[in-house]
């Protein structure tokens, strides 16, 4: 679900940046104090500008999280230090401030004095935008995930140069050429400290945010990431895990799967740097599309100083343009292979699908990377109606899944004492695609390419260039 307070969160960060760049103090409490304050004291403790952006009503409702207050305390200085390291922290810079989408109804004491990044996006035609989404409107955060940006330059002069690039490539059949040239031009602007796009990630207490430049090397100097061995880390649910149990979900009288996510933790050795450690989650499968798949960094701060998932996701993989091809590359088959795409109408179809998917499941069970232990179906009283245990039992389990899919609500109610979930069709097909995703990861490991698979997925989700011809633009991530 989209964050309803994204606009407030981003505008407040931009306001914090502007204060820090002008060397003005900002009034914010220590997060430990903020946690224990009453509502009145919370309002009084927040800088007037942030309070104006968020509004008293939203602060009172708890929409302004502890993590937001913690982030705002440090984000400004983190950005100032980053710019200083690039030689952009002294005099001579007159920053303009922009949000990649404008104010959208937010009242802010900070004037948005440029729309340059938005204007550049507007120069992309549908053929360019479809490089980032199958929709004609495109998905601009798949091109550049900058939420806000700083600009020190002449808007018209920059746009004229972009338009000139477009004119020169207008007769080219491949739309990637124009996008690549725009990205390389934006990278030069970033290197010259003229246009700094900033991707904002909510901090994870107690980890003070850090700034990292992404895609800030021009194509001529680009070197792809060098990765080494990878491993899947055992987590609370095992290794690569997907719930298979069917039961009275959340005791709400509905027959459904216990959960719909595929999750695992992993670590990849990176040449010349710290290992890449992140948490993978593929979730919320629609009826006829792949899962939404996103990553979160693993950061210190868990119990006994163990690693835990960061609050902010590292990004999600573009399903149609990146995730589907990745799955197909490592399984050799379509991402939707043998998943029913039409309504099941006969017992013969049920038997055919059950035979295939029970065999697929049992093959996956042989992998030490895969955790699939709860193949059973329970009725309203918690009694196990179908349990695998044996190969025959596994076939019965899958037969029953397809029977439930075909059955009427009345038939399911009579057998299980529970209503059939209205999301059953989408969730069951999601389970089958989940098995395909698991197979892709296992195949990558068997081919000695697990490090490549996990790094490519992470870079795709984070909008980081894995290859020189990838089309993501430059930005700095603060997390």
pLDDT over threshold 60, residue 373: yes
In a domain, 283, yes or no: yes
Amino acid 226: pLDDT: 94
Q: Are residues 213 and 268 in the same domain?
A: no
Choosing from 221, 237, 257, the residue where a domain stops is 221
Q: Are residues 270 and 348 in the same domain?
A: yes
In a domain, 466, yes or no: no
Mean pLDDT for the stretch of residues 50-73: 96
In a domain, 470, yes or no: no
Choosing from 177, 193, 221, the residue where a domain stops is 221
Structure token digits, residue 459: 């870079």
Amino acid 138: pLDDT: 72
Please state, in angstroms and rounded to a whole number, the distance separating the CA atoms of residues 457 and 438.
14
Mean pLDDT for the stretch of residues 156-171: 95
CB < 8 Å & 24+ apart, contacts of 337-343 = 337/436, 338/432, 339/429, 339/432, 339/433, 339/436, 340/402, 340/405, 340/429, 341/288, 343/406
Q: Are residues 81 and 177 in the same domain?
A: yes
Number of domains in the chain: 2
N residues, the chain: 479
Q: Are residues 183 and 252 in the same domain?
A: no
Burial class (CB in 10 A: 0-12, 13-18, 19+), 351: middle
For residue 92, what pLDDT band results from cuts at 50, 70 and 90?
low
Which structural domain range is residue 336 located in?
227-461
Mean confidence (pLDDT) of the chain: 92
Q: What is the pLDDT of residues 283-313, one digit of tens each?
A: 877 777 778 899 999 998 877 768 899 988 7
Q: Are residues 209 and 283 in the same domain?
A: no
Partners of 332 in the β-ladder: none
Mean pLDDT for the stretch of residues 349-374: 94
In a domain, 67, yes or no: yes
In a domain, 400, yes or no: yes
Q: Are residues 198 and 300 in the same domain?
A: no
Q: Are residues 264 and 198 in the same domain?
A: no
Amino acid 425: pLDDT: 93
Name the more confident of 393 and 118: 118
In a domain, 472, yes or no: no
Q: What is the pLDDT of residues 440-469, one digit of tens each?
A: 999 999 999 999 999 999 999 999 999 999
In a domain, 99, yes or no: yes
Q: Are residues 191 and 127 in the same domain?
A: yes
Q: Are residues 254 and 188 in the same domain?
A: no
Q: What is the pLDDT of residues 220-231, one digit of tens each?
A: 999 999 999 999
Please state, in angstroms and rounded to a whole number, the distance separating the CA atoms of residues 334 and 322.
13
Amino acid 399: pLDDT: 95
Q: Are residues 191 and 251 in the same domain?
A: no
pLDDT over threshold 80, residue 91: no
Mean pLDDT for the stretch of residues 132-154: 88
pTM: 0.91
Choosing from 221, 244, 277, the residue where a domain stops is 221
Q: Are residues 208 and 342 in the same domain?
A: no
Amino acid 188: pLDDT: 97
pLDDT over threshold 70, residue 161: yes
In a domain, 27, yes or no: yes
Alpha helix ranges (H) inside 288-390: 324-331, 347-364
Share of the chain above pLDDT 90, in %: 81
Q: Are residues 281 and 189 in the same domain?
A: no
Amino acid 412: pLDDT: 97
For residue 206, what pLDDT band results from cuts at 50, 70 and 90?
very high
Amino acid 2: pLDDT: 65
Share of the chain above pLDDT 70, in %: 97
């Amino acid at each position: 679900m989209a964050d309803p307070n994204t606009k407030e969160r981003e505008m407040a960060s931009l306001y914090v940046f502007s204060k820090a760049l002008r060397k003005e103090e900002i009034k914010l409490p220590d997060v430990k104090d903020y946690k224990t304050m009453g509502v009145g004291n919370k309002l009084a403790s927040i800088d007037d500008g942030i309070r104006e952006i968020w509004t008293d009503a939203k602060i009172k409702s708890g929409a302004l999280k502890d993590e937001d207050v913690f982030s705002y305390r440090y984000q400004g200085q983190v950005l100032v230090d980053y710019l200083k390291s690039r030689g952009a922290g002294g005099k001579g810079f007159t920053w303009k401030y922009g949000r990649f989408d404008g104010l959208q109804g937010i009242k802010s004491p900070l004037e948005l004095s440029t729309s340059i990044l938005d204007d550049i996006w507007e120069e992309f035609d549908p053929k360019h935008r479809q490089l980032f989404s199958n929709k004609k409107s495109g998905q601009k955060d798949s091109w550049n995930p900058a939420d806000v940006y700083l600009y020190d330059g002449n808007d018209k002069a920059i746009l004229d140069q972009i338009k000139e690039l477009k004119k020169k490539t207008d007769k080219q059949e491949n739309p990637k050429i124009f996008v690549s040239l725009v990205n390389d031009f934006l990278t030069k602007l970033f290197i010259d400290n003229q246009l700094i796009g900033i991707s904002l990630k909510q901090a994870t207490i107690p980890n003070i945010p850090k700034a990292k430049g992404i895609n800030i090397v021009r194509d001529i100097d680009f070197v792809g990431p060098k990765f080494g061995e990878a491993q899947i880390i055992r987590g609370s649910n095992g290794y690569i895990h997907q719930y298979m149990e069917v039961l009275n979900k959340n005791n709400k009288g509905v027959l459904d799967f216990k959960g719909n996510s595929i999750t695992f933790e992993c670590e990849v050795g990176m040449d010349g740097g710290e290992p890449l450690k992140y948490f993978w989650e593929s979730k919320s499968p629609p009826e006829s599309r792949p899962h939404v798949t996103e990553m979160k960094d693993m950061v210190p701060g868990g119990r006994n100083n163990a690693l835990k998932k960061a609050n902010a996701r590292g990004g999600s993989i573009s399903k149609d343009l990146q995730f589907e091809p990745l799955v197909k590359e490592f399984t050799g088959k379509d991402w939707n292979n043998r998943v029913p795409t039409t309504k099941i109408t006969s017992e013969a179809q049920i038997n055919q699908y059950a035979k295939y998917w029970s065999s697929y499941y049992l093959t996956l069970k042989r992998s030490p990377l895969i955790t699939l232990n709860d193949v059973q179906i329970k009725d309203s009283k918690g009694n196990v109606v179908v349990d695998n245990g044996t190969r025959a039992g596994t076939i019965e389990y899958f037969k029953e899944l397809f029977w439930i899919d075909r059955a009427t609500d009345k038939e399911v109610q009579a057998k299980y004492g529970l209503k059939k979930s209205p999301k059953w069709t989408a969730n069951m097909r999601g389970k089958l695609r989940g098995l395909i995703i698991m197979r892709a990861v296992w195949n990558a490991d068997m081919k000695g390419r697990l490090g490549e698979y996990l790094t490519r997925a992470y870079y795709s989700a984070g909008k980081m260039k894995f290859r020189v011809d990838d089309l993501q633009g430059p930005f700095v991530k603060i997390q």
